[in-house]
Amino acid sequence: MSEEIDNKKIVVFTGAGVSAESGLQTFRDSNGLWNNYEVNDVATPAGWENDPALVLKFYNERRLEACEAKPNDAHKAIARLQEEYEVVVITQNIDDLHERGGSEHVIHVHGELRKVRSTKDEELIYDIGADTIITGNLCEKGAQLRPHIVWFGESIQNYEISVKHIRTAGKVLVIGTSLAVYPAAGVLKKARYHAEKIIVNLDMEKKPFGYKWIRGKATSVVPHVVDLWLGGKCVV
């Protein structure tokens, strides 16, 4: 892939806030998941070691919620950008609302709820849709299945390819993320100086250098940014 910046290429980088108005809880807002669950119990290798049934129950519930949720106006607006641009969605989200909202090129860096994998061979990945898994559900090599999710202390997925894409994007649109989790948040720092870079978020503790922050809800703001970019104008 060439390192040249392409004005017809957009990277959209998203977090839980883009799915909040589809009814899915974020992690760190006041009603967020990490206020109601102990991260170490459900999202770490040690938690899995200690109580796999609890971890499976947690992700079974998340999977069911995500399957019942519908893409919102922000997910759908992002897909409209494909009319005029090459669009790569890089998401920290484990739901599939971007795909169901019409985005064709979606890269998941923290895994996918619909998928489970073998604890013996990480290449053995299965799409289970809305199904649940319990202890005793095994892969074809006889090992327990686990969620295909990146837990704290595990390696992020698709980091290098995400950096390659953002390095060549003429525009970057960031939506609904606290940017609290690295290395995923660090991908944004790899965007080019001359790229147009916008963040749509309800609040922002530390804005990355060179990004303009538009404060507001994803479903209210994102369709306008998309209209402007499809109309060829600049957001100021």
Identify the DSSP state of 15.
Answer: -
Among 80, 128, 89, residue whose Cα is nearest residue 109? 89
Tokens of 199: 């963040």
Alpha-carbon span 160 to 58, nearest angstrom? 29
Which position among 87, 89, 150, 199 is part of the footprint of ligand OAD (CB under 6 A)? 150
Q: In the bound complex, what is the minimum distance in angstroms from residue 96's beta carbon to ligand OAD? A: 14
Question: Would you count residue 180 as binding ligand OAD (CB under 6 A)?
Answer: yes
3-state secondary structure of 16: coil
CB 170 within 8 A of CB 195: yes
Of the candidates 144, 201, 226, 229, which one interacts with ligand OAD according to CB under 6 A? 201
Q: How far is the CB of 164 from ligand OAD (least distance, A)?
A: 21
| Cross-strand partners of 13 | 90, 174
Q: Site for ligand OAD (CB under 6 A): which residue of 11, 24, 27, 59?
A: 27
Please say if 110 is a catalytic residue: yes
**Cα gap 165→1, rounded to integer Å:** 9
Based on the shown chain and the rule CB under 6 A, indicate whether residue 162 belongs to the binding site for ligand OAD: no
Give the footprint of ligand OAD on this chain (CB under 6 A): 15-17, 20-21, 26-29, 32, 43, 92, 110, 150, 176-178, 180-181, 200-203, 217-218
Catalytic residue positions? 110
